[in-house]
Structures are given as C-alpha cells and as structure tokens.
C-alpha cells in the first residue's frame, strides 16, 4: 500500500486554525517524557508553566529513548506518556501498537499543522494515513564548502549554483592537495555516508533511480537507472580526490555533504570559513535526503489529554521558537527564521531553502533504515571495493531486504 501523499496532509492542514488550548481541571497532573532535560529548555518550560501551571512535566533522561527500553516499559504496563520517535524507527512503534494516533486531537483542538514543513509530517505518518507524532526537526543533507579553499583555487562560489556531478569530479581534483611524498593531505569532495538512509536521495535519485518501491515491498536496485548510478559511484569512489568520511571542520576536505545539524559545531571551529552551496545536478536533477524525528503519545498513557497539550505546545510555534530553533533546524517554517538568525548569519540561506525543496524522505521506514543498512553494510563494502558488480549488489541486497520484510 502506498504511503499517503503530501496532498492529504496539506489539505488537512489548510482546514485547521490555531487557537489556545486549555485543560479544564485545576488538578495537578504529572506527565513523563522520554527525553533528557537540557538547559536550553529553561525559557520554554518557564513559558509553558506560566500558561499551564497544573501540568508538571518530568523528563526521564537519555536512557529512555532506546526502543528496547520503551518496549520493556510498554510490555510491563508502565509506560511513559510521551516517547521520542526517531524518524527511521517510528514504524516499529506503530507496528507494535505503542503510539496513539493523534488525528482526533488535531481535530478536537483545531490544532494547526499548516506551519510544518510538509515533508516532516510524512515522516511521522503511518501507512494508514494517520499521524502518530509531531516532528521537531528537519535533518536534511546539505552542501558545505570551504570559502578559503575555493578562493585558493580561483573558483567563484557561484560555480556551485548549477554544477553537475562531472563538474564535481573536476573541481575535486583542483581542490585536492598532495604533499611531497605523494600523500593526499586534503581531498576535494566528501559525499555523505552511503551506509544510511541518505543513500536513495543522495546517491540514486539524481540519476532518476529509487532504492525501494513506493510501498517498500521490493528493492529497485536492478532497474536500469539504479544500475547506471551504482556504476558511476563505484568508479567515482575509487578516485583519491573523492572520499567518504573525511572531516570538513578539520580541513580534510574542501567540499562535504553532511547534515544541517552539523552547522552549530562547524560554526564553533576557529578559523573555519564556510558556507552552504547547492548540491550537484545529476542527469535527472538535484536531490537530497532528509529525516525528521519527533515525539508521540503512548496508547497506554493515563494522561493523554495533558500529554497532548504539552506535546502540541512543545512542537508548536512557542516551543519551536524558544527551544528547538536553538538546537536543531526546526520543523516549522515560522521557526526556521529564528534558526537562521542563530546559525546562518553570514551563510547562503537561499541554498538551504532550495535544498529543502528537493529533499526526499530517507528510506526504508519499515524495516527501519538503521536495521537494513546495518545488515547490508558488508554487501555495500564489497561493492565499493569492486568485489561485487552493480548487478550482484542489486541481487544480493534484494534478497536481504526480502528476508527482512
């Protein structure tokens, strides 16, 4: 069955309007959240308690974000009220019946979701079309480049506005540095890690290929476009100027594809002058991958109304502005401007906006991406070392994927 499209979500969003929600009783209610309290949350929590003084929120700590820990709590009938749901793992929770669908709460409280980046909602949507959580971030892969390195090579930043993957190979060689002993001291280009949910959007989609069918019932690596992409990348990653895993902040590479979540740590590196550019254009266009994580309500919660009030507010405009925008790229458009003010003061915001328009949800979602890529890592490693051909990789990976369904 196909996952519902964005049109369904956008239509729902446009029918709703936002206004304050309230809990009717003055009784003190305590809810538990599987998350770690951070000092950056102080301003938001003070704001929340000023509006909902009868709801106390207890944060359980990092140990309770582990799926196995949550499964144990649920099986024992001692659930927390709100769980962290990583985008690539949420369907494990849905399949086990752990999460409460929240569509009824959205309708009951006339809660507006039209400010969310639409793709982020797809990441918390079940195959039944229902929402099982609210997202807090957009974890998109973006193109970083070192301004000093491009200037040294005499390359204008505008070159990245419409460059192709073949242009990338040429530029990587221009930027690569080799010492007197013939050792590569700096590579020119570092693609995003292939052993992750990023593979489909960043390695295959630019060639018009997909890794999985729409309903994720089968692997599509044997399709002609996928084999073409695999052949290109297998050859390209033998090039010493193009290497996965090199550190951008340590000047091991001049150009790197990495998550937007890295930007805070990059900003903190003394002497690192960098910016955001556009990703290379492939034969079928420009694409990237993203994942969104969020929080959902336990079906066994005894305080679902209070849990909804906190969840919806925490993921609402106030929570996004006062907390999430300070730590992550937030999932609401209105909060992205606050994120930009903090992290993108001298950066190319236009490149980020354009990347947001071409991102694909990292897959598979069921089985979770982590599980699939962990089990397929050996196959891909053999492929990158030329022990397997593209066709052999496609056949072996398809068999593995089928065994996991």
- Per-residue pLDDT band for 89 (boundaries 50, 70, 90) equals confident
Query: 374 and 265 share a domain?
Result: yes
Query: 255 and 370 share a domain?
Result: yes
**What is the pLDDT, as a whole number, of residue 2?**
43
Q: Please name which of 206, 236, 183, 209 lies closest in space to residue 386, comparing C-alpha atoms.
A: 236
Q: Please name which of 378, 323, 389, 308 lies closest in space to residue 23, comparing C-alpha atoms.
A: 308
First to last CA, the chain: 14
**What is the pLDDT, as a whole number, of residue 275?**
98
CATH code, domain with 233: 3.40.190.10
Q: Residue 17: is its pLDDT beyond 50?
A: no
Residues of the chain above pLDDT 70, percent: 94
Query: 149 and 267 share a domain?
Result: yes
Q: How many structural domains are present in the chain?
A: 2
**Model confidence pLDDT, tens digit, residues 304-315:** 999 999 999 999
Query: 116 and 165 share a domain?
Result: no
Query: Distance between CA 285 and CA 291 in Å, rounded?
Result: 20
The chain-wide mean pLDDT, for the chain, equals 92
Query: Distance between CA 342 and CA 65 in Å, rounded?
Result: 27
Query: Distance between CA 363 and CA 210 in Å, rounded?
Result: 10
Q: Residue 145: is its pLDDT beyond 50?
A: yes
Least confident of 39-48, 163-172, 356-365, 390-399: 356-365
Classify residue 339: in a domain, yes or no.
no
Go through 110-119 and write b for each residue having 16 or more CB atoms within 10 A of its CB, e for each that does not.
ebbbbebbeb
For residue 75, give every residue at least 6 positions away whose Cβ sits within 8 Å of its Cβ, in sequence order, or none: none
Regarding pTM above 0.95, the answer is no
Query: 55 and 100 share a domain?
Result: yes
**What is the pLDDT, as a whole number, of residue 366?**
74
Enclosing domain of residue 236: 140-290+360-404
Query: 214 and 174 share a domain?
Result: yes
Mean pLDDT of 67-74: 92
Query: Distance between CA 31 and CA 56 in Å, rounded?
Result: 6
Mean pLDDT of 188-205: 96
Go through 18-37 and write b for each residue having 16 or more CB atoms within 10 A of its CB, e for each that does not.
eeebebeeeeebebbbbbee
Query: 90 and 186 share a domain?
Result: no
Largest separation between any pair of C-alpha atoms in the chain: 75
Cβ atoms of residues 23 and 54 within 8 Å = yes
Q: In 10 A of CB 39, how many CB atoms?
A: 6
Query: 111 and 132 share a domain?
Result: yes
Query: 101 and 25 share a domain?
Result: yes
Mean pLDDT of 197-216: 95
Q: Residue 151: is its pLDDT beyond 90?
A: yes
Q: Please name which of 133, 64, 100 lies closest in space to residue 302, comparing C-alpha atoms.
A: 100
Cis, bond preceding 367 (omega within 30 deg of 0): yes
Q: Residue 201: is its pLDDT beyond 70?
A: yes
**Model confidence pLDDT, tens digit, residues 234-274:** 999 999 999 999 999 999 999 999 999 999 999 999 999 99
């Amino acid at each position: 069955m196909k996952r519902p499209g964005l049109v369904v979500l956008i239509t729902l969003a446009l029918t709703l309007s936002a206004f304050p929600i309230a809990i009717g009783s003055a009784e003190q209610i305590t809810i538990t959240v599987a998350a770690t309290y951070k000092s950056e949350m102080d301003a938001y929590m003070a704001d929340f308690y000023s509006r909902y003084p009868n709801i106390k929120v207890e944060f359980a700590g990092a140990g309770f974000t582990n799926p196995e820990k949550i499964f144990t709590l649920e099986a024992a009938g001692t659930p927390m009220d709100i769980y962290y749901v990583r985008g690539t793992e949420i369907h494990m929770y849905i399949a086990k019946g752990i999460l409460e669908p929240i569509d009824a709460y959205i309708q009951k409280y006339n809660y507006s979701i039209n400010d969310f980046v639409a793709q982020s909602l797809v990441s918390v949507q079940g195959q039944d079309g229902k929402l099982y959580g609210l997202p807090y971030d957009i974890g998109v892969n973006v193109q970083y480049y070192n301004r000093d390195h491009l200037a040294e090579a005499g390359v204008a930043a505008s070159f990245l506005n419409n460059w192709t993957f073949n242009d990338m190979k040429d530029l990587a060689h221009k930027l690569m540095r080799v010492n007197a002993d013939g050792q590569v001291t700096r590579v020119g280009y570092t693609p995003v890690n292939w052993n992750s949910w990023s593979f489909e959007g960043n390695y295959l989609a630019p060639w018009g290929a997909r890794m999985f069918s729409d309903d994720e019932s089968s692997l599509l690596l044997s399709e002609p476009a996928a084999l073409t992409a695999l052949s290109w990348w297998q050859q390209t990653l033998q090039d010493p100027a193009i290497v996965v895993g090199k550190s951008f902040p340590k000047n091991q590479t001049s150009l790197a594809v990495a998550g937007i979540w890295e930007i805070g740590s990059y900003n903190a590196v003394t002497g690192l002058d960098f910016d955001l550019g556009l990703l290379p254009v492939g034969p079928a266009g420009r694409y990237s991958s993203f994942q969104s994580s969020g929080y959902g309500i336990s079906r066994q919660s005894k305080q679902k109304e209070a849990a909804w009030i906190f969840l919806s507010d925490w993921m609402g405009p106030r929570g996004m502005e006062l907390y999430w925008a300070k730590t992550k790229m937030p999932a609401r458009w209105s909060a992205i401007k606050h994120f930009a003010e903090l992290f993108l003061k001298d950066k190319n915001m236009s490149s980020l906006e354009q990347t947001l328009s071409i991102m694909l949800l990292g897959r598979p979602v069921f089985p979770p991406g982590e599980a699939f890529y962990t089990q397929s890592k050996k196959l891909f490693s053999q492929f990158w070392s030329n022990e397997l051909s593209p066709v052999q990789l496609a056949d072996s990976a398809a068999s593995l994927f089928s065994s996991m369904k």
